[in-house]
Structure 1
């Protein structure tokens, strides 16, 4: 199988060992071969010649002008528009030929990505099973007797089977997460509005969002950053300030034991318990909480007038050949009136308030991506109930305006994969990705049909628009006298790490409270100095810097892993009268010794 990870392809292109033309030729062969195994993945494939033409176009450009996704193959769910291509929404014939490319897809193409095709889905993105399509039912890549998950079924299988580096799905009720869990890949459900839904056929327009399938959170997060952007043509597009999360010892909420259900799947329950134990070994604090308001929120999606929003989108197409289950769900929505809609809005807001109060006790939620997985024949026999079961831990997320990432969490004894999902506040996508990546690597650092080791490097924290990371070394550390200058500015502790080895460390003379000085010496090779990384809103950074006295200041500090962050440095004049304490390796060790 081809290694399609972002860094592997970029390295191969840079060295000349691979070209986009060679890649797409090999990829076409791989897609042809997999179609013999599962013919239901694709609804529309880009022809080999068109792919070669796109590759040649990219190769003709100057190397310096290559976009961040140069030559990266991807797929999109067939409810996402691409100019000149049919959009079917899983109907037997195209509903239309798209005149324009969706905003997010265009961002990917502009970055040099290569679209290989449009994938199968539960019709009108209604379902979590992946079997409600006239184009067939894409199957779990590990056992064809089992569902692949929906509604973004084909998009997940395309990535898991090694037919694309990443793909777009959509996620209203869990469609970007359940198929990820069933196919041993990552599913990223961003904050609603972060990725434009212009050119995306709606399911529930007020709740919809594009989702990303990838082999690693690191790859998926990079794709999100390229695809996102404020779109004035999308009334639900937004670009709010990122919400930081603590990357050091976060508090993780899990439902109380009697509120966890796996519908008899004891292997899934065991794997979830293992995930919780692993989170604890990462230093994460586990907090149980009352899941009932979240469950009640989830039930609103299909059990109230919210479902009528699907009718609003599909009503002009009720004369089409609809899948019987899809038709039943959508036509039943006609029984709600405007009064019901307002009552559903009120109920959702009441639950939102209750859930927000409960969430004050933790930073993130950890839940199973899905409580179990079903055979295709079982879903066909009981399509509504089993579909509903699969959304047990997903349906509440968009209604509560949260973000989520599903990651692989190992395999049952029968060879079927299991996934868990981290759920964070809206706009916490940047930090959430880092934590999800750590959990993935701690639980099961592999992915895809071949269960291959992760090729992408571990995802590390970085500054986001509206946030700045500050490296502190002394009196601003957690528990130290000046730490409040950070916390009162809504700064969040990200992690504890060390500087590069060429830093010396000093105890400053006559400093009240006692403070250290950090200075770089290119000719020095030491232990590195222990530091904390804090992230604060950019608008608070200026007032923080204004508090810093001479001889200290803010400069750029290089960390042991090569990252550069803003942090405390010391003028040479201050070091001249200071005592070197580099051998302590950090301020805490020095202060502990001084107090002894």
Structure 2
């Protein structure tokens, strides 16, 4: 079910490719397969899940827009008759009713699978502050997943569910999306109900959505609000894109993140009218969330429980609550901070009317061991360009950057609440740029060969060098021009050196139609065990010139001919 969209699941249901029960079985199997990623706090039993499925059997997909779609719920959001713990077992309670947003999704036909892991009491942007273990990054388990909605994001990224609910106060619905190469959407504060959500900073808390596509986000968004927003519904592009005047990069991967941002900024400048936004006031707002009077609201939300259950509170959270108690901010300081935020909000929203602000979601990341060694500082860096959002009443969509990057690198688009239609539309445009399929290439489309130019004209880009598993043989086909044929011979082959390229999904189908028989596109197993689409010979090449497996690649064979 990895990376399946709502549309794809619905098509499968209509064509009777699979049933709801089979989809649920796969979701539960995937959850158990990736147990070491610590995505879940409470998985429902299959019988519990099937009761939700039974409710929708008499309805159509038109009547229930999320019919049969499995989803996950962050464990600070209530699901009726299932414990809510906020990653603190001693806090656990069993709600009689689901949170309003969960009720809306279930009413639309969605099927809850369980409650996901999180930074305790939704205080953290790293995904390591849980008694259930640090949630691991879906792409590299040594790296942090991001938080606090860690389990929800990773469950989507690993294909355990189609979408998930998180929450977002300082970036918890955006940072995990960026670090796991999925989409995180946060509507403006107040757009979605927070009834049935454990508060972290109640005046700023928002429910967020994790999904694989903006089309899915839009459909889920429609179920969570009946309010019609947006003066820019007919416009898919902003008049101006604002980019930051300066950025601070951090951590062991700072140079890679800086390079990715430079490439992203260059890409956007080629496509859109760009203006530079001074970041000083936004950064002052961002710092005020934890370094100003707003931090006191964290203590208001959970300080009483922490005082009576000190042993149950994670050490980083205990430190934050202690600092909040020691600050003794006056009412005057609180009002001054609110007035400053209002001033920045008014100024920024005037600039953003019909426009969008683009920032890197994160300007670095960490390994899990680095965060555990220094939990406060490492966490603070993750929110450099997310903390301001809710304080300024903005809407945001976090998505993978429209460039190739060696690490998961995401950007966030910010809009006024009135321009959420523009926000979603432009995010969908950028999403298309990132929607590419990796393709294993072993012949004339490789770098330096005659068909490379044709490949690049379709938007394909070289990704990395690789090798097949030791189950392949390579032949020179008796064609004009000469080309290789890669044939799988289980247990009787060698590792063949190949290249992996990325081709835009909207080009893949037409490209495949240009491939001459006996070549075709099939599954190629790489030396690391991964299976990817790639060039294969559809039958044993009786018309081959001769076998060239000993050369281990078409490139080596061509060099041998020159010698």
Shorter-chain TM-score above 0.5: yes
TM-score, scaled to structure 2: 0.73
Matched, 1:420 2:411: yes
- SS across alignment from 1:100: coil
Q: Distance in 2 between matches of 1:396 and 1:175?
A: 12
State the Cα distance separating 1:434 from its structure 2 match: 0.8
Q: How does 1:203-222 map to 2 (within 5 A)?
A: 203-222=200-219
Q: What is the deviation of 1:351?
A: 2.9
Deviations 1:7-46 (A, max 9, x none): 01111111222221111112211211111x32x1101111
Task: Determine the structure 2 residue equivalent to 1:505.
Answer: none
User: In the alignment, does 2:63 pair up with 1:55?
Assistant: no
Q: Which residue of 2 aligns with 1:459?
A: none
**Is structure 2 residue 185 aligned with structure 1 residue 188?**
yes
Change (3 A) 1:191 1:445: farther
Aligned partners of 1:243 and 1:262: how far apart in 2? 38
2:92 corresponds to 1:95: yes
Please give the residue correspondences for 1:123-138 in structure 2 after superposition, counting only pairs within 5 Å: 123-138=120-135
Query: Are the aligned partners of 2:78 and 2:98 in contact in 1 as well (CA < 8 Å)?
Result: yes
5+ unaligned residues in a row in structure 1: which ranges? Answer: 230-238, 457-596
Structure 1 SS opposite 2:284: helix
**Within the alignment, does 1:288 sit opposite 2:279 as a pair?**
no
What is the deviation of 1:412?
7.5
How is 1:6-25 mapped onto 2 (pairs within 5 angstroms)?
6-25=6-25
Matches within 5 A, 1:506-517: none
Cα distance, 1:262 vs. partner? Answer: 4.6
Deviation at 1:92, TM superposition (A): 2.7
Give the Cα–Cα distance (whole angstroms) in 2 for the partners of residues 452 and 75 of structure 1: 30
Of residues 421, 429, 432 in structure 2, which corresponds to 1:438? 429
Q: How does 1:290-305 map to 2 (within 5 A)?
A: 290-305=278-293
Aligned with residue 398 of structure 1, among 374, 378, 390 = 390
Conserved? CA contact 2:402–2:431, under 8 Å: no
- What pairs up with 1:184-583 in 2 under 5 angstroms? 184-229=181-226, 239=227, 241-244=229-232, 246-248=235-237, 250-256=239-245, 258-262=246-250, 265-281=254-270, 283-318=271-306, 319-320=308-309, 321-334=312-325, 335-339=327-331, 340-356=333-349, 359=352, 363-409=355-401, 415-445=406-436
For residue 46 of structure 1, the aligned residue among 28, 44, 51 is: 44
Alignment correspondent of 1:525: none
Count matched residues: 438
Structure 1 segment 63-82 matched on structure 2, within 5 A: 63=60, 66-82=63-79
Partners in 1 of 2:403 and 2:417 — Cα distance?
A: 30
CA contact (8 A) 2:403 2:434 kept: no
Contact 2:3–2:212 (CA under 8 A) maintained in structure 1: no
Corresponding residue for residue 553 of structure 2: none
1:48 positional shift: 1.4
Shift of 1:330: 1.7
In structure 2, how many angstroms separate the alpha carbons of the residues matched to 1:134 and 1:429?
A: 37
Quote how far apart the aligned CAs of 1:354 are: 4.2
- Aligned partners of 1:452 and 1:70: how far apart in 2? 33
Residue by residue over 1:107-138, the C-alpha shift from the partner in whole angstroms, topping out at 9 and shown as x without a partner, is 00001100000001111100100111111110
Counterparts of 2:262 and 2:44, CA distance in 1: 43
**How far is 1:383 from its partner?**
1.3
Does the aligned pair in 2 maintain the 1:268–1:412 contact within 8 Å?
no
Aligned to 2:289, the other structure's residue is in SS state: helix
Work out whether residues 241 and 357 of structure 2, in 8 Å CA contact, stay in contact via their aligned partners in 1. yes
Q: Report the Cα offset of residue 148 of structure 1.
A: 0.1
Distance of aligned partners of 1:3 and 1:177 in 2 relative to their CA distance in 1, 3 Å threshold: closer
How high is the TM-score relative to the length of structure 1? 0.69
8 Å CA contact 1:240, 1:427 repeated in 2: no
Equivalent in the alignment of 1:594: none
Q: CA deviation at 1:300?
A: 0.9
Contact residue 167 and residue 207 of structure 2 kept, 8 A: yes
- Mapped to 2, the partners of 1:49 and 1:240 lie a distance apart of 38
Gaps of 5+ in 2: 439-500, 507-563
For 1:470, the equivalent position in structure 2 comes to: none
Q: Alpha carbons of 1:63 and 1:349: their partners in 2 closer, same or farther (altered >3 Å)? A: closer
Q: What is the alpha-carbon distance in structure 2 between the residues aligned to residue 356 and residue 3 of structure 1? A: 35
Provide the C-alpha distance between the structure 2 equivalents of 1:52 and 1:241, rounded to a whole number of angstroms.
35
Taking structure 1 as reference, are residues 3 and 379 closer, same or farther at Cα in structure 2, changes over 3 Å only?
closer
Of 92, 105, 108 in structure 2, the residue corresponding to residue 111 of structure 1 is 108
Q: CA deviation at 1:356?
A: 4.1
Counterpart residue number, 2:452:
none
- CA distance in 2: counterparts of 1:3 and 1:376, whole angstroms: 25
The question of whether the paired residues in 2 share the 8 Å contact of 1:41 and 1:158 is answered with yes
C-alpha root-mean-square deviation of aligned residues, in Å?
2.5
